[in-house]
Structure 1
Amino acid sequence: MKSYSSGKIRNIAVLGHGGSGKTNLVEAMAFLSGATKRQGKVYEGNTISDFDDEEIKRKISMATSVVPVEWENHKINLLDTPGYFDFAGEVKEAIRVADSALIVISGRTGVAVGTEKSWEHAEERQLPKMFFVTDMDDEQANLYDILNDLKELYGKRIAPFQVPIRENGEFVGFVNVIKMEGRKFVKDHIETCEIPETLKEEIEPIREMILEAVAERSEELMEKYFMQEEFTLEEIQNALHEGVIEGEVIPVLCGSGKHNIGIQVLLNSIVKYMPSPTEEHATLLAKDIDSQELINIKCSEDETLSALVFKTIIDPYIGKISLFRVYSGILKSDATLYNSNQETTEKINHLYCLRGKQQIEVKEIKAGDIGAVTKLSATYTGDTLCNKERPIELEGIQYPESLSVMAIRPKNKGDEDKISSGLQKLIEEDPTIKVEIDSANHQELIYGLGEQHLEVVVSKLQSKFNVEVELYKPKVPYKETIKGKIKIQGKHKKQSGGHGQYGDVIIEFEPLTDLNRAYEFEEKIFGGAVPKNFFPAVEKGLEESVQKGVLAGYPVVGLKATLVDGSYHPVDSSEMAFKIATTIAFKKGVQEANPILLEPIVSVRVLIPNDYMGDIIGDLNKRRGRVLGMVPLDGKQEIQAEVPMSEMFGYTTDLRSMTQGRGTFTMKIERYEQVPSELQNKVIEESKKEA
C-alpha cells in the first residue's frame, strides 16, 4: 500500500446500532475498492472486520477494526466499531482518532437507540457526520420515514443526497439530488436514467433545502440564489463540503451493503464531503512535558513527530500489536521513540497498515494516517509516542465507567495464576475490564460494561489462555458496628508444665462516631494493673479481632476500645497471652454491646430521557432508594438518588431494559448505614450457611 499525504486521507468511524449492517457495508466498500477479491458476509464468518474467534462465533462485532481502502487516489481508513452497548469502549477508541463519522441505519428497522448513541458519541468529539441507510433492497425499507425521524431528532441539517427509485416495490435505483440525475441498477453496473415524474414533486423541497444550505455559505452565493441563477456543481460540492465540516449539513445516502448497491456513491461522497486530517484537526492541543503548558500541534508532515496509541491487540502468535494514529510528522521504521506517559523509549522495527488481521508492511506512516507496530514493551492504549527532544502528551481516551460486576473464580484449583495472567492481557486489549481484590470477603471482582461483556471475558479466558472460570454473584461488603456501651473482662489463663499463660484485661467498648475508621484504642490504666509493655499486644489483639465481627463475620468499624483495668502475672504473662485475652474480651463485649450490620449506600446518578422518569423513580423506590432530586441536563433528566448497594446488582441490564438502552448511570459508595432488622437476620442466616 502506497504512502498518502495528509490531505489525501480520510479517517472515518463507522457507527450504528447493533445489527444495522456496519460490517457488511465496510466489506462492500473493501470489495468495490479492490481491497479484497471476495465480498464476505457476517453470517458466513468471513468478513475482514470480524476476524476474532468470538466475533465469528457470535456473529457480531466486539472490537474496533481498521479497514483501509484506496479510492480516487485517496486512502480511507474505515474504523468498523461494535454496535452493542457492552463494547462501547471500542467505540470511544475509534472516535478518538477519527475525523468524521458514518452512521449506518438499517432501512428495515429504521432509527434505533444505537443511532442516537452513535450521534452522541460523534457529538462528544464534534465530528462531522454522514448517514447511510442500508438494506434499501428490503421491501420493508422506508427512507421517508427514516428521514422524518432524523429531521425530528436533528432538525433541518439533515440533507438527503439521494432519493430511491422503486418499481413494483423493488429498489431499482436512485436520484442524485446534487446532480439532479437518475441512476438505475443494471446487472453489475449503474446507468443514467430520467428522473421519474412521480418523484419530481418529492425531490423539489429536498433540492431546495440543499440549495439554501449552499447559498448560506457566502454573500456571493446568496446573491446568486436570490437572482435564481443556477449554482455550478463545483459551487454546490464545495459549499456542502464546508457545511459538513461545520456540522451544518448532515448528508443522508442510501443503498445496500449486503448487495453492493450505492457503495460507489458513498465512497465518492466520503472523499468529496468528509474532512481530511488537515481540515478537521489542523491544530490539536497537547501538553508540553517540560513546561506543563498546553501547546498547539499542527497536523503536518513537516512538524515534529507525535502519535497516539489508541488500541492494543494481543495476538497469541505475534504478541502485542499497538495501533496508533500519527498526528504530526512522519513515523519511519527503525525509529526510536519516546513514550511520554511511561517515560521510556521504544524501538520501532517494522511498521504496518492493518486491514482487519492482515498486516501490510510499510516504510513510513505520515501525519493523519493510521498504522500499527508489534512488540512494544512498555506502551499501552492511550500512550503518546513522540521525539525525546520535544516530549509532549496527547489527550488520551475517555472510557465509559464499568459498573457491571461479578465475582470470578477458577473451576480448577491451582489456576489462579493462569487467571491473573490471562486477565492482565485482556485488560491491555480492553481497558474497560477492571479487576479488584476484595480481601474482606475473599473474592476477586471483575467489572465490565454489561453481562455480555463479562461473558465474552470468560469465553476468551478459555479459548485464548486455556483456563476455565465461573462467574457468581459477588458478596456485598457489609460491615459491623455496635450501638451500645459495655465494660467487659477478657481473661486468658492456661497452666501446663513449666511457664503458664496469663493475661487479664478489662476493656470498655463504645461506638465511635467515625465509621471510616475500624477502631480507636486508648488506655486508662492506673497503678500499673497492666504493664505498659503489654499495651501494644492489647492493640494487636484488637486489630486482628475487628477483621471479623460477631454477627456475620464482616469487618467491624466505628469501635472505640479503652483499656481501663486488668491484671498480670510476673512470670506467666506474655504478649501472646494479653493478645488472646483481648480477643476474648472483644467477642464477649461486642456481642453484648448491641451489634448491628451496616450496608454500603451508593450515590446514584441516572441520566434518562424525560419519557422514562416515572418508571425509573418507581424502580429506585422499589430498591429501597431515596430520590434526592432531578436536574435537567443536555435535554435529558439526571435523577440523583441514594440506594443500598445490595439492591443495585444487575442494574446495568435492568436500566437498559427499562429505557431501551437510552439510560446511563454512575454510582459510587457514599457511606454506610444500618441494615433494616428483617434484612439483617436474612444476611446473618446466609452467612451462616456459607460458613
Structure 2
Amino acid sequence: MKIYKPEELRNIALIGASGAGKTTLAECMMHEGGVIPRRGSVEDKNTVSDYFPVEHDYGNSVFSTVLYTTWDGNKINVIDTPGMPDFIDGAVAALNVCAVGLMVINAKHGAEVGAEIMSRHAKRLNKPMVFAINKLDDEKANFEQTIEECKVSFGKNKIAIVQFPIEVGENFNEVVDVLEMKLYRYDNEGKLLETIDVPDEHKEKAEELHNELVEKAAENDESLMELYFEKGSLTEDEMREGIKKGMLDRELYPVFCTSAEKSMGVRRLMRFANNVFPSPAESIPAQTTSGDEVPCDVNGKTSLFIFKTSIEPHLGEVSYFKVMSGVVKEGQDLINSANQGKERLSQLYIVAGRNREKVSELQAGDIGATVKLKNTKNGHALNEKGFDVEYPPIKYPEPKFRTAIRPVDESNDERLGELLSRYHEEDPTLIVEYSKELKQILVYGQGEYHLNTMKWRLKNNEKLDIEFHPPKIPYRETITKLAAADYRHKKQSGGAGQFGEVHLLIEPYEEGMPDPSVYKIDGKEIKVNLKGTDVNELKWGGKLVFCNCIVGGVIDTRFLPAIQKGIMEKMEEGPLTGSYARDIRVCVYDGKMHPVDSNELSFMLAGRKAFSAAFKQAGPKILEPIYDVSVLVPEDRMGDVMSDLQTRRAMIMGMESESGFQKLNARVPLAEIGKYSTALSSLTGGRASFTLKFAEYEKVPGDVQEELLKKYEAEQDEE
C-alpha cells in the first residue's frame, strides 16, 4: 500500500439529511476509485458502509463509517455520517477531523432541516462546504427549487453553481459544467457517453452562470480581482484558485449535480475534490488546549487524535484516529496525554468500512485505525515521548430526550451498567447516570429513536432485555415565609442518657439579603445576635446558610456542626415530595444542654426535628426545573408548534428568522418535555429540530403542586 504524504490527502465528511444518498455516494466513490470491485446498495444491505445489523434492520446509517478511495495518485478519506439528528455524534466527530463537509442534498426534498443542523455544526467548526444535489433522476426532483431553498438556508451569495442539469426526473442524463464550459452526457446506466462543448441552446444560461462563478471566484482574492478587471475573465486554473480561497473562507459553496445511484457526476465531483479541496498541509494547523499550533508536518513530533471508537465483531475495540503531526509506525510506543499511560500500536489499518488493510505507517494528515488500546478513549491524544499535547475535546450537542432504564431480570444490573458504559464510549451523546436522588438509572440521548436503537442493540446483539419507564422529575423544595420551631430530644434508658434542645428559625434565602437581627413571629419579637455564618453550596443547586446566633453559651459551639448535619440530612428529603430542599437560611438562636447527657447525636436529632417542624410552617413550595427550548421550524408549521408548546405550560420568549426557518424560543418545565422530540417530529413531518438547556428552578403552579402532593402521599401509602 502506498504511503501518502500530507499534500496527497483529502479528508471529507459526507453530511446531510437522512435519505439524501450519502452512503450510496460513498459506495460510488470507492468503486470509481478502484477500492471495491463492485458497488453494493442500501436496499441489498451489502454496502461497505452501513454494515452493522441494526443498520440493515433500520435501512439507514446509525454509525459514522470511515472509508477511503483514490484518485489520480491521491488518497481521499471519506467519513460517511448518519443523517438523522438522533445520531449527530458521527457528523460532529467527522467535521472535527475533516477539512471539508460535502453536503448531500436530496433534490426531491430540498434543503431539509437535517441539512441545516449539519451546516450549523460546520459553521461552528469553521469548515468549508461543497454541495452535491443528488437524486436528480427522481421523478419528483426539482433542481431550481432546491437551489432557491439552499440560498435561503445557507446564504444567497454563497451558493455558487458549478453545474446545472438539462432535465431532471426520469430523463436526467445531461449536466452542464460552467467551470469547464462542457456538457456531460450519460446513458441510462450512468456511463459517461461524451463530453462536449455547451450546445447553443444552453450557452446563454451557461455563460451567465459562468460569469457569476468567475465573479465569486475573483471576489476572494485581490490579485484575481485585478486580473478579472484587466482581462474580463479568468482561466480555469485561476477560477479554481479563487474557488478554493472562497471555500476556505466559507464565503463560497460550490454546487454539483449527481445521481449517486447511477454514478452520474461522481467522477467529476471526485476530480474537483482532488484538484480544489484543501489537503491537510493547506488546512489551518490544529490547536492544542493550551492554544499552541501543531502544524500538519511529517517532520514534526508524532501526535494522534482519537475521534471515534467502535466495538467490531472478531476485533474488539477499534480506535479511529487522525495523524495530527509526524509519522506513526506499526509497533510504535506513544504516551496518552490524558493519563500518561503508554500505548503500543501493534497494528495499523487504513479502513474502508468493514474492510481493513494493514499498513506499516501513516503520515501527518491521514486517517487510520488501531486495535486493543488499553486506556485510550474518544478525545484522547497519543504522542511520542517528550511531546505532551492535548487537543480540545469534541463538543457534542446537549441531550434532548431521557428515560429511566432497568433490566427485565434484575440479576443483569451489573452487565447492563457495563454495556451502557461501552455504548457511551462509542457514542458520547448517549449519556448514562445513576441518580441517587431519583433512585433510577437514567439514559439521555438525542431523541426517542436514538434510545430505541440502543434498546434494539441490547436485545439483538447482547441478548439483554431491558425496559424503559418514565423518569422522575428532580423537583426541589423550598420555603416562602419565616417560621420558627424548637425541639427537645431526651432519652433515658439506663447509663448515659441523651439530651439536646434546639430553638431555630428559618426563612427563604436570597443573595444579598441583610444579616439576621430582629424577627416577629405570631406577635412575638425574637432578637438574634449573629456570631458566625456557614454558607453551604448544595451539590443539587441552591444554598443552605447556617447562622450561629447562640448567646450565653446555652449550646456549646462543639455541638453546632452536629445541629447543622441534622438539618442537612433533612434538606436531602423535603417533607412535601421527598425531594432536595434549597435556598434556606437557618438561625439557631437558643437551646439547652445537659452537662452529662448532651452529645453530638442528641443535637443532630434535635436540629433535624426542629428544622422539619419549622419547614412545614414556612409556606413550603415545590420547585420544578425549567429549560430554555429553541425550536427551528418551517414557517408553515409555526402555528402548530406554538399551540403544542402552550399545552406544555410553555412561556414563549420570542421569535426570530434563521436560515429560512423560524426560531421559536420558549421556557418549558422539564415535566412537560418528556417525549417532545417525537411529538415535534410528528407535528412537522420531521422538518423541525430543537435544542434545550437547563435554565433555572421555578415554583410550580398551585394545581400542579396539589397533584404532586397527592401522588407522593399515594406512593408513601403503597410503601
- Report the TM-score range of the alignment, normalised by the length of the smaller protein: 0.7 to 0.9
Does the C-alpha gap of structure 1 residues 319 and 595 become closer, same or farther in structure 2, counting only changes over 3 Å? farther
Aligned pairs, number:
678
Using the alignment, how far apart are the partners of 1:356 and 1:285 within structure 2?
29
| 8 A contact 2:102–2:130 mirrored in 1 | yes
How far apart, CA to CA, are the structure 1 residues paired with 2:396 and 2:710?
40
| Structure 1 residue runs without a partner (length 5+) | none
Structure 2 CA distance for partners of 1:66 and 1:564, relative to 1, 3 Å = same
Determine the C-alpha separation between the residues in 1 that align with 2:99 and 2:407: 43
Whole-Å separation in 2 of the counterparts to 1:244 and 1:134: 20
Who is 2:507 aligned against? 511
Aligned-pair distance for 1:76? 0.7
Please tell me the residue identity of whatever aligns with 1:510.
I
Measured in 1, the distance between the counterparts of 2:472 and 2:251 equals 51
Aligned counterpart in structure 2 of residue 352 of structure 1, from 349, 353, 357: 349
How far apart are residue 535 of structure 1 and its match? 6.3
Alignment correspondent of 2:210: 207
* Corresponding residue for residue 183 of structure 1: 184
> Aligned to 1:274, which of 271, 274, 277?
277
Q: How far has the Cα of 1:138 moved from its partner?
A: 1.8
Deviation at 1:311, TM superposition (A): 0.9
Q: Is the 8 A contact 1:423 1:461 kept in 2?
A: no
- Report the CA distance between 1:639 and its aligned residue: 6.6
Amino acid corresponding to residue 284 of structure 1 in structure 2: A
| Distance in 2 (alpha carbons) for counterparts of 1:535 and 1:243 | 69
Amino acid at match of 2:213: I
Q: CA deviation at 1:326?
A: 1.0
Q: CA RMSD in A?
A: 3.5
When residues 494 and 411 of structure 1 are mapped into structure 2, their CA distance, relative to the original with a 3 A threshold, is farther
The residue number in structure 2 matching 1:668 is 694
Given residue 19 of structure 2, which amino acid in structure 1 is its aligned partner? G
Aligned residue identity for 1:117: I
| Cα distance change on mapping 1:371 and 1:604 into 2, 3 Å | same
State which of 601, 613, 624 in structure 2 corresponds to 1:600. 624
Inter-partner Cα distance in structure 2 for 1:625 and 1:411: 35
SS of 2:19's equivalent in the other structure is coil
In the superposition, the TM-score normalised over structure 1's length comes to 0.87
Give me the identity figure in percent: 29
TM-score (norm 2): 0.84
Residues 264, 664 of structure 1: alpha-carbon distance in 2 compared, 3 angstrom cutoff: same
Give the CA deviation at 1:462. 3.2
Cα drift, residue 278 of structure 1: 1.4
- 1:174-230: per-residue Cα shift (whole Å, max 9, x none)? 23333333332235732226655543343232233234345555657865776567x
Alignment match, 2:35: 35
1:94 and 2:94 correspond: yes
Structure 1 201/501 Cα, relative in aligned 2: closer, same or farther at 3 Å? Answer: same
Asked if structure 1 preserves the Cα contact closer than 8 Å seen for 2:143 and 2:168, the reply is: no
Decide whether aligned partners of structure 1 residues 577 and 313 sit closer, same or farther in structure 2, where only a CA change above 3 A counts. same
2:475 to 474, 478, 488: 478
Q: 2: CA distance between counterparts of 1:409 and 1:493?
A: 43
Q: How does 1:240-639 map to 2 (within 5 A)?
A: 240-281=243-284, 283-287=285-289, 292=290, 294-315=291-312, 317-482=314-479, 483-490=481-488, 503=499, 505=501, 507-513=503-509, 516-518=542-544, 520=546, 522=548, 524=550, 540-557=565-582, 558=584, 560=586, 562=588, 564-565=590-591, 588-591=613-616, 593-602=617-626, 604=628, 606=630, 608=632, 611=635, 622-626=647-651
Shift of 1:128: 2.6
Could you tell me which residue of structure 2 aligns to residue 18 of structure 1?
A: 18
Q: Secondary structure at the match of 2:127?
A: coil
- What does residue range 630-649 of structure 1 map to in structure 2 within 5 Å? 642-649=667-674
Is the Cα–Cα contact under 8 Å of residues 224 and 242 in structure 2 kept in the other structure? Answer: no
Question: Closer, same or farther in 2 for the Cα pair 1:110/1:50, shift >3 Å?
Answer: same
Return closer, same or farther for 1:562/1:258 CA change in 2, 3 Å cut-off.
Answer: same
- Alpha-carbon separation, structure 1, partners of 2:441 and 2:222: 62
The aligned counterpart of 1:103 is 103
Q: 1:224 to 1:460 in 2, by over 3 A?
A: closer
Q: Deviations over 1:117-144 (max 9, x none)?
A: 2332222233232211221222222222
Contact 2:136 2:169 in 1 (8 A): no
**Residues 34 and 544 (structure 1), Cα distance of their counterparts in 2 relative to 1, 3 Å cut:** same
Contact 2:348/2:361 (8 A) holds in 1:
yes
Q: What residue in structure 1 maps to residue 159 of structure 2?
A: 158
Measured after TM superposition, the shift of residue 479 of structure 1 is 2.8
Q: Flag structure 2 segments of 5+ consecutive residues without an equivalent.
A: 511-540
How far did residue 444 of structure 1 move?
Answer: 2.2
Query: In structure 2, what is the Cα distance between the partners aligned to 1:167 and 1:419?
Result: 51
Residues 261-315 of structure 1, C-alpha deviation per residue, up to 9 Å, x if partnerless?
Answer: 222222212112212111223x33335xxxx5x3332222122222211111123
- What's the CA shift string for 1:564-620, capped at 9, x where partnerless? 44576968x8766666566655555544x1452321343526264795887776665
CA distance in 2, matches of 1:128, 1:487: 66
Cα distance between partner residues in 1 of 2:590 and 2:406: 46
Distance between the aligned counterparts of 1:256 and 1:527, measured in 2? Answer: 87
Kindly state the Cα deviation for residue 622 of structure 1 after the two structures are TM-superposed. Answer: 4.7
Q: Is the 8 A contact 1:503 1:578 kept in 2?
A: yes
Preserved contact between residue 108 and residue 135 of structure 1 (Cα < 8 Å): yes
User: Secondary structure in 1 aligned to 2:87?
Assistant: helix
CA distance in 1, matches of 2:508, 2:433: 29
CA distance in 2, matches of 1:192, 1:47: 29
C-alpha contact 1:12 1:100 (8 A) present in aligned 2: yes
Shift of 1:370: 0.4
The 8 Å contact of residues 185 and 191 in structure 1, kept in 2 or not, is answered as yes
Change (3 A) 1:35 1:568: same
Aligned to 1:677: 702
String of CA shifts for 1:138-188, please: whole Å, max 9, x gaps: 222222222233334422443333332449951233233333333322357
Q: Say if 1:484 and 1:142 are closer, same or farther in 2 by CA, change over 3 A.
A: same
Change (3 A) 1:481 1:348: same
Q: Is the 8 A contact 2:152 2:660 kept in 1?
A: no
Which one-letter code corresponds to 1:333 in the other structure? E
Query: In structure 1, what is the equivalent of residue 144 of structure 2?
Result: 144
- Secondary structure at the aligned position of 1:678 is classed as helix
TM-aligned CA distance change 1:553 to 1:365, over 3 Å: same
Instruction: Name 1:7's counterpart in structure 2.
Output: 7
Q: Which residue of 1 aligns with 2:527?
A: none
Deviates more, 1:656-665 or 1:256-265: 656-665
CA contact (8 A) 2:572 2:579 kept: yes
Whole-angstrom CA distance in 2 between matches of 1:219 and 1:525: 83
Structure 1 CA distance for aligned equivalents of residues 410 and 593 of structure 2: 48
SS of the aligned residue for 2:708 comes to: helix
CA drift of 1:98 comes to 0.7
1:344-376 deviation per Cα after TM superposition (whole angstroms, max 9, x unaligned): 332221111121122211011111110111122
In structure 1, how many angstroms separate the alpha carbons of the residues matched to 2:96 and 2:559?
61
Does the 8 Å CA contact 1:502/1:569 hold for their aligned counterparts? no
Tell me if the contact between 1:101 and 1:122 (Cα under 8 Å) persists in the aligned partners.
yes
Name the aligned partner's letter for residue 49 of structure 1: S
The answer to whether the 8 A contact 2:139-2:169 is kept is no
**Shift in Å at residue 112 of structure 1?**
1.4
